[in-house]
A and B are shown apart, each in its own frame.
Chain A
Amino acid sequence: MNIPFTAQLINMCAALLLLIAFAMLSQRRILSLINLFALQGLILSFSTAVVAYTTSQHHLYTSAALTLLLKVIVLPLILHRLIRKLNIKWDVETMFNIPTIMLIGLALVVFAFNLAAPISQMAGTVTKSTLGIAMASVLLSFLMMITRSKAVPQVVGFLAMENGLFFAATSATYGMPLVVELGIALDVLVGMFILGIFFFQIRVAFDSLDLKHMEKLKED
């Protein structure tokens, strides 16, 4: 079977994205987590550009550039500044049962591939085989948000989930209409600023960014 070079490139990017999703799941250092997030954005942007080149969908170049700007440069920069200001740059989270989490992650990947199979059969895109990976990375980011108890890693998980959704949009339909993508990017950016303010509020109120302190509001 002869697969064109660009398709192989896209598949490799998808595989790398999945690998990064797993790496993020098990990464305990906040600093490395942010770097992984930036790397994820970079690969995403690169693969979008490759898809744009292969299919000559010119609007995808714009979204690739947007991803590069927002998720590789601006958001990691804000996150780096935040952790420096909050003085948690070298924080290491204590996480238990990383092997169990990884096993759950594996099960999620299988589930995602099964869920994506009927849709990718219908898709007419060259990237249809990567839809399963996109869904898997969404679910893995979701798992990451559940397993973390600190504010910054939860937010990184949230942003990684948005990356996964973006990848899903690219692989199923060559990206959403441009105006929608711009709107989503604006929301993500504004959300990041608000979260930045929010981290400081949390720290002032709880003296730490550990969300374990947040368990007052419960139904008894």
Chain B
Amino acid sequence: MEIFLVLLIPLLGGLMLAAFGTRSYAPELNSAMSFCTFAAAVALTVRVISSGSFSVWDEQFFVDAFNVFLVALTAFVGFTTSLFSRPYMRIEQHHGKLTVNMLRLYYSMYQLFSFTMLLALLTNNMGILWVAMEAATLTTVLLVSLYRTPASIEAAWKYFILCGVGLAQALFGTILLYFAAEKILGAGGNALLWTHLNEVKAQLEPTVLSLSFVFLLVGYGTKVGLAPLHNWLPDAHAEGPTPVSAVLSGLLLNVALYAVVRSKVLVDGALGSHFAGNFMMGFGLLSVVMAAFFLSRQKDVKRMFAYSSIEHMGLMTFAFGMGGPVATFAGLLHMTVHSLTKSAIFFAVGHAAQKSGTQLMEGIRGLIKTNPTIGWGLALGALAILGMPPFGVFTSEFMILTTAMHSYPWTMPFLLIALGVAFASIFGRVQLMVFGETSGVRLPHPPALIPVFVHLGLVLLLGLYIPPYLAAWYRQATALIG
């Protein structure tokens, strides 16, 4: 029941906002729908915690500890982003960058985008997972090009083509998976159900599965933003509206990684070796290193944080690739804290760019003087994402690094140098943006910074103390992934 509510509310919201998106209350309606989705997700989470995993509707939808945690996270960040976008989009409209019709498109697509992500998380069918991922691309393409500037259209085109081609690879991987599954489970709809596949994974043909995993990893990896398939990501983040950057970074990348991890579980079972893990470690490590060095050369603040997202997604992929209880636990925790921190940073950055009238870092100065809350939000967010204790990112990065040091010591120089370079470049630039002299003016609408501090507060909490039920929940999910 809760599953249907979680899926139905955003779908309905998308349709309603397509009809009423031009009215003055559209932003409030958007937030209200997102809040209802969040409430339904909480109800679903409570049910999974109390009565364990279950599936509904001929096992087409399936919830366990792993995906329910992502559903809760997605619904939560979706809700706070909708709160943030309310004043943000009003200011953009005030600046004459958006018309009423563009806003209608934005609100409607925002809800549909939430729907596709939740569908990808909740479906039990690997084929529908692919369909939902492709639909998530389609709903965000027009959001990236919302401003209709040449740069944003170029970014959206790149996003569409690269992710489209990437996902075509994933479709081929899914076909191969079905090919292997059909021999054991028989033809028909059930052969692509993840729960069924998971039961018979030891019998699946190893050669086909390994080939299938390579295609799935390359395909969904494009969407995770893994190097060298990451080219779309910085452009889409920098040229799209900031709320879209926040949900792309905070949520969509997680959902794509979720798809990779689900595939990995099957392949590990079929091969009984570390084949999938090695691939993920390789891609992850390459992304961390490459992103750190590109990061140091950026001039646009949103591009810089987009590269930081690539770096962190690489770190998570690396952690899941290493496997084992500690690294997987750390990977899940990192997914949570990165998603919260990065969206908080984008919220602060969005308002900072609006205030300064530019996204170029050299134009953003002295935030703490004119808008202290934006300045503090950005400074604390940057410290959190850089892995400073006591924030939660420190905890997860520490766990990832210690596991890597123990099991794969040769990766340490790469990881440490990359993290060091990222630290130096982000810290130096954020410092200049937060302090320094400015002649900026105040914003026409009061900015929405409560989400920023709520997110950072949660990240701080996760760094200091993980509540026992939450830890138990992560452990359950870890046991599922292995």
Contacts and interface: CB of A to CB of B under 8 A. Distances in A.
Given A180-B192, A217-B154, A191 B178 contact: no
Contacts of B202: none
11 contacts: A122-B179, A165-B171, A173-B175, A183-B127, A198-B141, A198-B142, A201-B145, A202-B153, A205-B150, A214-B153, A217-B235
B161 A197 contact: no
A173 B187 contact: yes
Nearest to B141: A194
B151 interface: yes
Interface in B89-137: 125, 127-128, 130-131, 134-135
Interface string A101-113: 0000000000000
B157 A202 contact: yes
Given A119-B211, A219-B294, 6 more contacts: A122-B179, A169-B178, A173-B187, A184-B131, A198-B153, A211-B157
Contact of A177 (B149, B150, B188, B207): B188
Q: Is the interface of A mostly helix, strand, loop or mixed?
A: helix
B154 A179 contact: no
Interface in A196-216: 197-198, 201-202, 204-206, 211, 213-214, 216
Closest 6 A-B residue pairs measured CB to CB? A180-B127, A183-B131, A177-B189, A214-B154, A205-B150, A187-B134
A158 B161 contact: yes
Contacts of B168: 138, 158, 161-162, 165
Q: Is the interface of B mostly helix, strand, loop or mixed?
A: helix
A172 B175 contact: yes
B369 interface: no
Contacts of B183: 124
B312 to A, nearest CB: 19
Given A142-B165, A184-B131, A169 B175 contact: yes
Interface string B202-219: 000101100100000000
Contacts of B172: 138, 165, 168
Interface string A64-93: 000000000000000000000000000000
B148 A119 contact: no
Contacts of B125: 177, 179-180
Interface in B148-186: 148-151, 153-158, 160-161, 164-165, 168, 171-172, 174-176, 178-179, 182-183
B175 A201 contact: no
Contacts of B176: 119, 172
B406 interface: no
Interface of A: 57, 118-119, 122-124, 138, 142, 145, 151, 154, 158, 161-162, 165, 168-169, 172-174, 176-180, 183-184, 186-187, 190-191, 194-195, 197-198, 201-202, 204-206, 211, 213-214, 216-217, 219
B148 to A, nearest CB: 6
B232 to A, nearest CB: 10
Contacts of B127: 176-177, 179-180, 183-184
B138 A183 contact: no
Given A168-B175, A179-B128, A183-B128, A201 B189 contact: no
A56 to B, nearest CB: 12
B151 A217 contact: yes
Given A122-B208, A177-B189, A205 B149 contact: yes
A198 B145 contact: yes
Nearest to A141: B168
B297 interface: yes
A187 B131 CA distance: 7
B248 to A, nearest CB: 16
A180 B171 CA distance: 11
B178 A173 contact: yes
Contacts of B148: 201, 204-205
A165 B141 contact: no
Nearest to A151: B157
B3 interface: no
A120 B218 CA distance: 22
Nearest to B171: A165
Contact of B161 (A154, A186, A217): A154
A183 B235 CA distance: 28
A158 B150 contact: no
Contacts of A194: 138, 141-142, 160
A49 to B, nearest CB: 18
A170 to B, nearest CB: 10
Contacts of B239: 217
Contacts of B165: 142, 145, 158, 161
Contacts of B161: 145, 154, 158
B362 to A, nearest CB: 16
